[in-house]
Amino acid sequence: MGDSLLSLRTAIEEDIAGRTVCEQLRRTAEEHPDAPAYSDPVEGGWSTIGYGEARRRVLEIAAGFAALGVGPGDSVALMMVNRSEHVLADLGAVHAGATPCSVYPTFTPAQVAFVAADVGAKVAVLGGPQDLARWEPVLADLPALEKVIMLEGAPAGDRYLGWADFLALGAERLAADPAAVEERWRAVAPGDVLTVLYTSGTTGNPKGVPLTHANVLYEVGATDRMTALPAQGTQISYLTYAHIAERVLSLYLPLFKAGHVHFCPDLDQLGATLGQVRPVLFFGVPRVWEKMMARLQALLATQPAEQQEAVRQAMAAGLAYIEAGQFGRSPSPEVKAAYEAADAALLSIIRSMIGFDNASWIATAAAPMPAEVQRFFAGLGLKVLDVYGMTETTGAFTANSVDDYKLGSVGRAEPGVEVRIAEDGEILTRSPLNTGGYLNRPEETAALLDEDGWLHTGDVGSIDDDGFVRILDRKKELIITAGGENISPANIENHLKEHPLIGQALAFGDRRPHPVALLTLDGDVAFGWARSRGIAGDSLAELAEHPDVLKEVEAAVSAANDKLARVQQVKRWRLLPVEWTAETEELTPSLKLKRRIVHAKYAEIIDSLYES
């Protein structure tokens, strides 16, 4: 490890030495008691609490958990939408010495039962009847789960407790014995497990990933250095807290920056929430950016031809400026002047219209970001910065920054993080961010972490001379054709999805003579596209059979093939009558493609694409 890397690591470790999330909340609440912490949407506006009030509630919740018999080392499972109660219950469990575990709200009852048993949940906090429907069928199989706390709709019975009654219990116990809760949270140490997150399970049962206070505080410290975000900035929480990125950015980072988190429990309301909050930072998985681009393109398509052309020219200036500002380069005076003129005339107006006028850091991760999507937002003057990481690395361990970036890369190693490429092309990393291993899975832990402390990501990539990392594909997802060619399905899929009509794509071809593809229409674009061309259709299934739609998709496949090497080109394809979602199980809860599920679900169609 080089002297520079070691000094960066040492600096962060000295900053966080001896600290826990409990201590950090205490500091922030004392220094900024009236600073807004959490805002929930209510009719006509927001319901907001400050950091002082938030910590008081956390201590009451901690006392409530202790009163229910939750002790140090016990686990509390959480399943609810993004709302202040989720964060407060999580932090309350931590202050009681317990380990919170947010469970993906799209998990099946069988997956819920597996996670609850694996983590050893003693108490579960659920949002309402919709969440309970995923737990109720398996409660008989979870004898260790003693109490189910319901924010809404608690059924009768000793096993259930309403949220209001739970809060009243906690307030009473805290008032009676505040020293007991103080003793609990002060006993929490940096090496203690802060949370267990479960991988979203692209294959098999999800795996539990324990992350310590030290892991998380190092990630926050590294992120803060990479982003240079202002204190008390606004942000939006909308991805599930079972996702590591959302946890770091809207649960832990705000405790250090005294950030103001606005909750968006309904993804359909994200656009409206962006317009209201105008966040200083925003994170979206690629599918979120794809959908946002599709909606903007659909809106622009309704404008007069003259206006559309003006936007195209302005976006060309924006893209040229962002591309010219990449690492090692700088925009020429002409490019800069053209951008400034376009920005003043149009681009700043569009950014304001979609709520990004205050954004100083916007990012993406979790799956490959299609180049066309990144270029689209660059055209608006927005740098959607790719970062790269895993639950097992406490989130990002490489990142582009606002000043140092290369489009198409996932950036450079975060401060104090080692990254190298193994002989077979796999990306390896070593740093204080690495988990100590999977929960209850020694064999899989041994495969994840080698004896020298290097974590094996399972991704294939490269590092250029400037230290920027590029991802080729998942090691296990590479297609090896019958001719022995190694092909990245994600590369093919991203080119196919460049056309706004195509919402999702899966490329297939392992041990086959050539790639084929399954495609779905984008529900946010397809109907508007069809109406503008006089095509009737009340469902995606109808549109997927329309000759004009099929002709357009054929042109999109041809355009994608023009950008691919001959062995990568899609020879045959099928447009499906449905969209893929987490609910229908083709996508993980973090909106990544479940390839094995799609392969199995559409095996007959895939086979038919290879028939002569």
- CA-nearest of 184, 210, 382 to 284 is 382
- CA-nearest of 424, 407, 431 to 461 is 424
Whether residue 140 has pLDDT greater than 90: yes
Residue with token string 């659920």: 126
**Average pLDDT for 131-142:** 96
Pick the range with the lowest mean pLDDT from 70-79, 360-369, 573-582. 360-369
pLDDT at 202: 47
DSSP E strands in 438-545: the ranges are 455-463, 469-474, 479-480, 486-487, 502-508, 516-521
DSSP E strands in 345-417: the ranges are 361-364, 384-390, 395-399, 412-413
**Average pLDDT for 581-598:** 85
The answer to whether 197 and 103 are in contact (CB under 8 A) is no
pLDDT at 596: 83
Whether residue 376 has pLDDT greater than 60: yes
Question: What is d(CA 345, CA 460) in angstroms, rounded to the nearest whole number?
Answer: 43
pLDDT at 55: 98
Side-chain half-sphere exposure of 448, counting CA atoms within 13 A:
18
Q: pLDDT band for position 29 (50/70/90)? A: very high
50 beta partners: 36
- CA-nearest of 469, 483, 480, 373 to 425 is 469
DSSP state of 449: B
- Rounded to 5 degrees, φ, ψ at 186 are -70, -20
Question: What is d(CA 316, CA 338) in angstroms, rounded to the nearest whole number?
Answer: 10
**Which residue type does 41 have?**
P
What's the whole-model pTM score? 0.84
The answer to whether 576 and 519 are in contact (CB under 8 A) is yes
Q: Where are the domains of the chain?
A: 21-188+230-279, 284-427+459-475, 479-609
- Rounded to 5 degrees, φ, ψ at 52 are -65, -50
- CA-nearest of 279, 288, 285 to 235 is 279
List, for residues 211-229, the tens digit of each pLDDT value.
999 999 999 999 999 888 8
For 21-188+230-279, CATH number? Answer: 3.40.50.12780
Residue 236, number of CB atoms within 10 A of its CB: 25
Question: What is d(CA 521, CA 504) in angstroms, rounded to the nearest whole number?
Answer: 7
Label the pairing between strands 121-126 and 99-102.
unpaired
Residue with token string 């000043």: 403
Q: In a 3-state reduction of DSSP, which class is residue 532?
A: helix
**Which residue type does 518 have?**
L
Question: What is d(CA 306, CA 357) in angstroms, rounded to the nearest whole number?
Answer: 25
pLDDT at 490: 85
170-179 long-range CB contacts below 8 Å, 24 or more apart?
170/60, 170/61, 170/62, 170/63, 170/64, 170/65, 170/67, 170/92, 171/60, 171/63, 173/63, 173/64, 173/66, 173/67, 174/59, 174/60, 174/62, 174/63, 177/63, 178/59
- Rounded to 5 degrees, φ, ψ at 87 are -65, -45
At the fourth CATH level, the homologous superfamily of domain 479-609 is: ANL, C-terminal domain (3.30.300.30)
pLDDT at 538: 87
List, for residues 167-205, the tens digit of each pLDDT value.
999 999 999 999 999 999 999 999 999 999 998 654 467
List, for residues 526-563, the tens digit of each pLDDT value.
999 998 899 988 899 999 999 999 999 999 999 999 88
- Rounded to 5 degrees, φ, ψ at 501 are -70, -30
Provide Rg for the chain, Cα atoms. Answer: 25
Q: Give buried/exposed letters for 486-516 (b at 16+ CB in 10 A, else e).
A: ebbbbbbbbbbbbbbbbbbbbbbbbebebbb
